[in-house]
Structure formats: structure tokens, C-alpha cells
Amino acid sequence: MAVIGLVLLTGAAAVATRSANALGLEERVAQHRLANGLTLLLMERHQAPIVAVNLTYKVGGVHEHNGITGVAHLYEHMAFKGSRTIGVTDARKEQPVLEELDRLAEAITAEKTRGPAADQTRLSALRKQFAETEAKADSFVVPAELATLYQRHGGVGLNATTGKDLTRYFLSFPSNRLPLWAAVESDRMANGVLREFYKEKNVVLEERRQRTDNSPSGRLHEAFSAAAFQAHPYGLPVIGWPSDLDGLSKARTEAFFQTYYGPANAVLTIVGDINQKDVIALVEQTFGRIPARPPSPPVLTTEPPYAGERRVEVEYVAEPQILIGFHKPGTGHPDDEVFDVIESLLSDGRTSRLHKRLVQEKQLATSVSAFSDYPGALYPNLFVIGATPRAPHTAAEVEQALYEELDRLKKEPVTPRELEKILNQIDAAQVRALRSNSGMASRLGYFQAINGDWRETFKRRDRIAKVSPEDIRRVAAQCFTKSNRVVATLVRPPKQEVESKP
Amino acid sequence: MTAAKSLLFALALVLNVSSGFAQTAPLGDPRTMKFEPVTITVPEVERVVLENGLIVYLLPDRELPLVSVSAMIRTGAIYEPADKVGLAGLTGIVMRTGGTARLAGDQVDEELEFLAANISMGIGAESGAASLDLLKKDLPQGLAIFADMLRAPAFESAKVDQAKRQALEAIRRRPDSPGGIAAREFRKLLFGADHPLGRESTTDTVSRITRDDLVAFHRQFFAPNSLILGVTGDFEKPAMLDALRKAFGDWQPQTVALPVLPPVTASPGAGRSVNILRRDLSQTHLRIGHLSVKEDDPDYFALALLEDILGGNSFTSRLFRDVRSRQGLAYSVGSRIAPGNAGPGIFMMQALTKGPSTYQALSSMLDHMERMRQEPVTPEELQLAKDAFLNSFVFSFADSGLIVGRLMGLEYHGLPKDFLQRFRDSVVRLTKEDLLRVARLHLHPDRVIILAVGKDNDFEKPLSAFGQINVLTLKPGG
């Protein structure tokens, strides 16, 4: 295998900066679809006897609405608690206890939602019962059994992420333990159990305190997204509103799992020291047994068109920060790559336009960056620029300077050298991506899940090569207007409020 | 344990070991599955010393048309003058941005970014580090710039000023990050606010730094005989050695005297030290710990395994299982042992918990620390920690950069080059009695430093139960 790899790559090296599929990805990646709809991507890399797996589900914050915000992320936490066979001593005896716990939780929520009329005596009686039942449920728990199985067999980097569009589970391990992984992971896909559900809500609330409530940028981003989308779920926080998390029932969470965690919603990518044929057989034997589920419902809400700048301020005791967003189309639009090119022009590297102008020349900011698909990629989203002003300069000065740079895009054609630099960067990034099994698995799985085709990893490059200076001028003029933008700034609260508390 | 015995450390240029599994493996209960031990073949890394004392490690890896050169330099912020804290960091930054004799800083950036070549440069507390990463075809150009930067950086005044302004803004923004506050204050408590390992830059120390200081700092520490290079990627050894000789060969060696680090006297004290730094936060940052062993301490391996069980391993450690999963008190909780090199190491536990559960979280963590000393770990815990370590050992050799980087680090810190193999062999032999012995010897819950950054009015009980409270304040500009 190593010899074949070398031959392929030696041939590739000479054309690395010209051809997008220079590294022979088309030949090296195998795609297989199971009868139940699961998509499997495989790539052999035999540098070390290890393998990286990435299981990506096409579900995330975008499938939520007010009332159940945070459910996709909470479920991701629950997926580490095991299944009907893992993480429990006796699932049959556990089940009625869990059901009793749910009844008590629902009763507490019902009582609490009566607000000032809530019966406090009843509430505290219910809470006492709840605590006792929870202790009983705990007695069935085999703590961290899933992670223990993986770690004992050398698994590393076990984790997961939840975003707007995707929820991704991943780890790496010695490649001869693939059967163990397939058994555990297919069990987790088919037989998720919401164990330690109520405790995990508290863990997530701590995560929210850490990422959002006590973080200046976390607060700013939450308010910014909420201001940008009045209808589309991209405006909702993935971590969830605290009250939604508190009230979220297990029944709603279970329904969410049943709706979105079907095999047809999953892309499974495996990169490393594997034999493709063996792995296909293994996956068929395990994941292949999972019954197909009905297709998950589409996201119906679209953001209604509107005109008019929206501005929000977030008061918090911290130095200023600013976020500016412009509405734009989502994945699949013919201008997709034009925005990608603009993002690179503006903020990739020290020679990018915003860094040169705002950080180096005018020294108005300590950092500035642009993202072309905020907060998700799949649906119409925002082109966002974020900056941290450098004292004594203000957010207003930074904002003005940013608009001047955006106006330049509308007026002056971009130079061929700038475009060539971007292509060189993309080509080199494609080569570097192949250094890591987990990075490659993540990349292939991402494009398969978002664009429906892992080949986008290199097809995209060819479209970027076709972007012209006129395309950039046209898209900039269309998108970067006052009536299309959302601006959020972090400001200090009025003085007297600051001093009232230590 | 069986896995460890068959780990193979043959010195051969074999990068590739296939370890397929049986196609018809019956998938039963994953808890009882058994697998062949993982065998790895570690490639031989060549070490060459150039005539001027520059040490080079070479490991070709022809998978991709890329070359990486990394460097370690004998320097560090611990060697900068006390009234100019921040100097080492600024020197590293402006070496990268401030141009060379041949090219202005902006031209360097233009050239590198057009080639999609990356150069990084930085000076940390106990070492300097630099790296070059590029497509093989661009090696001559990239290597020339890289060598110029290391040997004769131009330190353009405008870039020095810019780096200073950025550093000052970073100091202004320190209070915005509670985690950053906790990390810096905890180091001050451990090592002393004036000790090179504990101190931090301030508006005053940064403002005082001049371009001449950067030039002098560079001249004092950057010499070929202070440098270790590691080269990986797509190259032939003889050609690479020629290129390195061309780039670095005429660099004259010089005597580099590293200032002696003063002894640490700040801790541990006679008893616990409880410190509160008041911030208007809904979540408390808790840090608990004390100074610990150096990396070459014979007990380090046992302590590291013990620490995996206490709070190091994600999901399965005692702190994770109890404080997070069972009690739901934290999202981030764990422990860490950072063995010392220049100075003592650190043992610490940390958690972020809401104000009204601060006492409970702290109390639980201290109980867990105490329990490590009171009773041996269970056989299951010991076995899991060993299996996790031994079966994931292969990841220490997952790519050529890791293999070479480790050898560089070991040489830099004066540790034996088979350090990792010794670590593995030692872990295989460890017993629960060994762990109990090192816990009793090296964990001191009665003498820990406790730091809570948060709103103590919200704490469910005062922390005075743990010792006399010392209230810290953040100094503006510090």
C-alpha cells in the first residue's frame, strides 16, 4: 500500500499548485451507501496503525425553535451516557424508574409555570420525591462506561460538537479495534437512552455560563444573531436559552432524537490504516442492521426580506468589540465562492486587506476577521466581520474604516496577484489537510453533509479559480449596503450601575 | 499490560504497519472483545551536529510534497530583566514581523503568503520556538527567509512600536477573561509575583522596553550552538544537510550564559492558602494546587498515572464522574500535572461552577485529592489508566513531526532520548501500592493554594472553612 501511495503522490507533487485533485483524492476516497440511507466515506492512509472516525449527523440548532432551544446540543451530551446495553446494570429495571422521574419532572415544570400562583409546598414535596427517585435511577448507572470502553482500547480525542447545521461525533484509536467501535457506535445510533438527563442539563447550564453569560464575546454573538434573524432559527443560540433548557422535557428530547438521528441523516467517515472492503463489510454488519427512518422534516422558515439597518448594543463591563453582518445566500448559490474569495481577500493572513489597513497601518484594531458563512452554512446566512478596537480608538472609528475597505471592493477591481495568492493558499491547504487522519475525516464528512458531495473539497477550488474581479465588484456592491446590515457593539454599562455591586 | 510487552521499538525505516482485523469478526458484547496488541515500528531519526554546534534532527517522510523545519532555542521569558517583563515575547513577535537584512517585514509577509508558506516565531517562558512549513518546491526561498529571521532580524522600529501597542491593549483586555485572570493569579500565588516563573508583564514593564532591548535580547541568546532544528517531510538527507549548511553554516557560535533561576520561596506554605478575587461573575473559576515534581523525578511517571485517575482522563476520571456527571456542578473540571524543567512543576485541579455551588465543588475536589492518599485506587481504575496509556501509546508516533519534536524537546530539557519508552515500561510495572506511596509523598491537600475568582456574596457557604481568606485585587495595568 505504501508503495502505491508513493507513486500516486510523486506524480501529484509536480502539479500540486495547478490541479485541484492533484493528490488523487478522486481515486483514494471510496463512497458507499447502505440500504438504510447511511453514507460511508473511506480513505486509506497507512502511515501508522491508527484510524480516525467522524460520524456527522445532519442536525443542529437550525432544527430547533423557541421552547426547545438547546435540545440538539443537550442530546449530543446525552449520547455519551450509553445505550440500552452500555452504561447500565439492568436496563429493564432502570426503565420504570426513569419514567417515574420524568413524571415528577413534568409535574414540577407544570407547577412552576403557574408563576406567582405556584404552590410552593407542593413544589418542594415534588422536588424531594424527584431527588429520591433520581438517586434510585443513579443506582443503575455504570458511570462513563462508553468512554471507558474506548479509552481502554486506546481511543483518543473522544468528543463531539454541535453547530447550527451539524452534530459531529469523533475519535481516533488503533485501527485493529474497529469492530469495537462499530459495535458501540451503531448501538448508540440505534438505542440512545436519555440517562442522567436532568443532571446533564445542569452541566449544560454551566457550559452556558462559561461560553456565554460570563464571556463578553459570547454575549455579543448571542445578541448579534438574535438581532440578525427574526424568523429563521439561525437566530437562536445553540446552547439554548436557560429557561428552555430548564423546562425541556425528556419526551421532547426523545422525539428530537427519533426525528433526526436516522441513518439516512448520517455521514460516517473513516480515514486511516484500514482496508476499505473489510470496513464496508463491518459497517454493513453493524450500522446496516439499523432500520431506516422516515426522512426528517425540512426547515420551513425562511427569513422574510426586509430593508433597514439593525443595531444592537450589549452592555457589559469589558473592553469594546464590534460585529457587522450582511445578509447573503446560503450553500449552493452561484455566488458562494465569490463570498469565499472576499473573505480571504479581507482577512486571511497578515497581507489581507483588513489586517493591513486596520491593524498595521491605521492601528485602530488589534484583530479583525471575516467569516463568509455565519452562523451556519446551509441556509441564507451572514457575511460577518468582527473586530476588537485598540484604545483609544473606538468601535465607531473601526466601523467607519471597515466600510471604507468594503467600498473599495465595490469600486476598484481586485488585482490578479491577490487572486493568485488565494488559489495558492487553497492548494497548499488541500495538501496540508492530508497530514491528519482526523482533519481529513472532518473535511470529507463536512462537505458530504453540507454540499451532498465530498468532492466539493476540490471542486470548490475550480469554481474559486473562475471568480473574476467583476464578480467581486458586483457581489460587494449588492451585499455590503447599509440597509442590508446588522451591527452589534459591546459597550460599558452606565457608570452608576457598575459601582453598585462589587 | 500485554499490549505493552509487544510494543516494538525496532529502529527501522518502516513507516507502515498494517493491522487489519478479521473480516468475519463476530460482534458480540463490546465489553468482552479482545484484540491483538498494537505494534509500531518507530523510524530512525538521524541527529547531526554542524560544525558551529547547531543540532539537526532529520526524518524524511515522502507522503506529501511538504517540508517542515522546526526550531527550539535556548532562551525564555524567565531570563528577561524584572523591570522589562514582556521583552522576550516582544522579541519573538518582532523577529517575525520586523523584516530581515534583505527584506522589509511587509515584503516577507507578501512573499510567504503568496507561496502559502508559514513561518512562526515565539518565545515562551522556558524556550524559544520557530517553525517553517511550506511546499517542497519553495524550500530554497523559505529557508533563506527563515534563517535570516533567526540570525539577523531587522527589528524595524515601526513593527516594534506596533507590537508594543498590541501588547498594551492585551493587558487592558486581561480583565475581560476570567479564565486568564485565574491562570495568571494562580501562577503568582504558586511561584511568587516577582519570581520569573510567576510574574507577568504590566503597562509599566512593556512601556519601558525599547528596540535596543529587543536587539540586545536577540544577540544574547540566538546563536547556532543554542539552536536545535528538526526537519521532516519530502527531502533527501544529503541535499537537506547541504541546504542547512548554506543557510546556517557560516553563523559563528558564541558563549551563551543562561542566567540562574532564583529559588521559589512563595509556596508551599505551612497550611492552606485561600484566596478570593472578586469579580461580578455568575460562575466561579476555582483552582487548587501546589508545586510539584520535575520531569526527571523518578516518581513523575507514577504521579502522572495517578493524576489520570484523579482528574486527567476525560469522562472517566474521578473528578469528571463525580463533580460533573454525578453532581452536575461543572462543565469544565479536571486536574493536571505539569512537571517542571527549569523550575518546579505544578499539580492542580480546576473547575468552573456557579457561585452558589462554589463551596460544594471545592469541598468535593479536596475530598477526592485526600482520598488518593487515604486508600489505594481500585484494580479496575488502575487497569483502565494503564490500558488507556498503553493502547494509545501509538499516537505518540502518529506522524514524523511528533517523533522529531519529542526528540528535540527531550534534548532541550536534558532528558534521555528513550524517555517515553522508560515512561511506558514504568507504567507497565506500576501497582496500586506505588500510586498510594506517591500520592502520600506528593499530594498535599492540607497545604494547597486555593484560588476562587468570582462573586463571593453568591457562595452558598464562606470558604473560610478551608482556611483564612486572603482577598486579592486586580491592579489596573497589571
Distance between CA B271 and CA B470 in Å, rounded? Answer: 13
Task: State whether B90 and B233 are in the same domain.
Answer: yes
Q: Answer for the pair B154, B98: CB distance below 8 angstroms, yes or no.
A: yes
Candidate from A144, A214, A216 with C-beta closest to B315: A144
- Nearest CA-CA partner of A235 in A380, A120, A395, A421: A380
Task: State whether B388 and B436 are in the same domain.
Answer: yes
Domain with CATH 3.30.830.10 in chain A: 53-88+141-289, 310-500
From A305's Cα to the closest Cα of chain B, the distance in A is 37
Candidate from B38, B136, B352 with C-beta closest to A13: B136
**Does the pLDDT at position A9 exceed 80?**
no
Among B212, B231, B248, identify where a domain stops: B248
Q: Which residues of B touch A142 (CB under 8 A)?
A: none
What is the pLDDT at residue A499? 47
Task: State whether B422 and B336 are in the same domain.
Answer: yes
Which residue pairs, CB below 8 angstroms and at least 24 apart, start in B84-88? B84/B205, B84/B208, B84/B209, B84/B213, B85/B199, B85/B200, B85/B201, B85/B202, B85/B205, B85/B206, B86/B167, B86/B201, B86/B205, B86/B206, B86/B209, B87/B209, B87/B213, B87/B214, B87/B217, B88/B123, B88/B128, B88/B217
In a domain, B381, yes or no: yes
Among B214, B248, B282, identify where a domain stops: B248
Q: What is the mean pLDDT of residues A349-366?
A: 97
In a domain, B13, yes or no: no
Number of other CB atoms surrounding residue B263 within 10 Å: 8
What is the pLDDT at residue B476? 80
In a domain, B256, yes or no: no
Task: State whether B73 and B146 are in the same domain.
Answer: yes
Task: State whether B135 and B244 are in the same domain.
Answer: yes
Q: What is the mean pLDDT of residues B86-97?
A: 98
- ipTM of this complex > 0.85? yes
Q: Which range among A5-9, B34-38, B300-304 shows the weakest confidence by mean pLDDT?
A: A5-9
In a domain, B1, yes or no: no
Size of interface A-B (CB pairs under 8 A): 258
CATH of residue B327: 3.30.830.10
Q: What is the mean pLDDT of residues B307-320?
A: 97
* pTM listed for this prediction: 0.93
Cβ separation A183–B116 shorter than 8 A: no
Q: What is the mean pLDDT of chain B?
A: 93
The domain tally of chain B equals 2
Cβ separation B384–A152 shorter than 8 A: yes
Beta-ladder partners of B291:
B346
A210, A362, A423, A461: best to mutate for the B interface, most B CBs within 10 A = A210
Task: State whether B198 and B282 are in the same domain.
Answer: no
User: CATH code for A53-88+141-289?
Assistant: 3.30.830.10
The band of A23, judged by pLDDT with boundaries at 50, 70 and 90, is confident
Q: What is the mean pLDDT of residues A443-458?
A: 96
Cβ separation A49–B387 shorter than 8 A: no
Cβ separation A199–B325 shorter than 8 A: yes
pLDDT in tens, A391-442: 999 999 999 999 999 999 999 999 999 999 999 999 999 999 999 999 999 9
With respect to CATH, is domain A310-500 assigned 3.40.640.10?
no
Task: State whether B413 and B465 are in the same domain.
Answer: yes
A43, A138, A148: best to mutate for the B interface, most B CBs within 10 A = A148
Q: Which residues of A touch B394 (CB under 8 A)?
A: 48-50, 154, 174
Cβ separation B17–A390 shorter than 8 A: no
From A492's Cα to the closest Cα of chain B, the distance in A is 12
User: Which chain B residue's Cα is nearest to A185?
Assistant: B30
Task: State whether B277 and B236 are in the same domain.
Answer: no
Task: State whether B323 and B235 are in the same domain.
Answer: no
Residues written for chain A:
502
Task: State whether B235 and B356 are in the same domain.
Answer: no
Instruction: Write out residues 275-304 of B within 8 Å (CB-CB) of A.
Output: 278, 280-283
Q: What is the mean pLDDT of residues B421-450?
A: 97
Query: Any chain A CB within 8 A of the CB of B326?
Result: yes
Candidate from A202, A216, A273 with C-beta closest to B328: A202
Cβ separation B20–A278 shorter than 8 A: yes
From A232's Cα to the closest Cα of chain B, the distance in A is 29
pLDDT in tens, B265-296: 877 677 899 999 999 999 999 999 999 999 99
What is the pLDDT at residue A22? 60
Task: State whether B329 and B222 are in the same domain.
Answer: no
Range of the domain at B360: 273-472
Output phi, psi for B11, to 5 deg.
-95, 95
Task: State whether B137 and B278 are in the same domain.
Answer: no
Residue A300: Cβ-neighbour burial (10 angstroms; 0-12, 13-18, 19+): exposed
Query: Any chain A CB within 8 A of the CB of B172?
Result: yes
Query: Any chain A CB within 8 A of the CB of B320?
Result: yes
From B245's Cα to the closest Cα of chain A, the distance in A is 26
pLDDT in tens, A124-164: 999 999 999 999 999 999 999 999 999 999 999 999 999 99
Beta-ladder partners of B295:
none
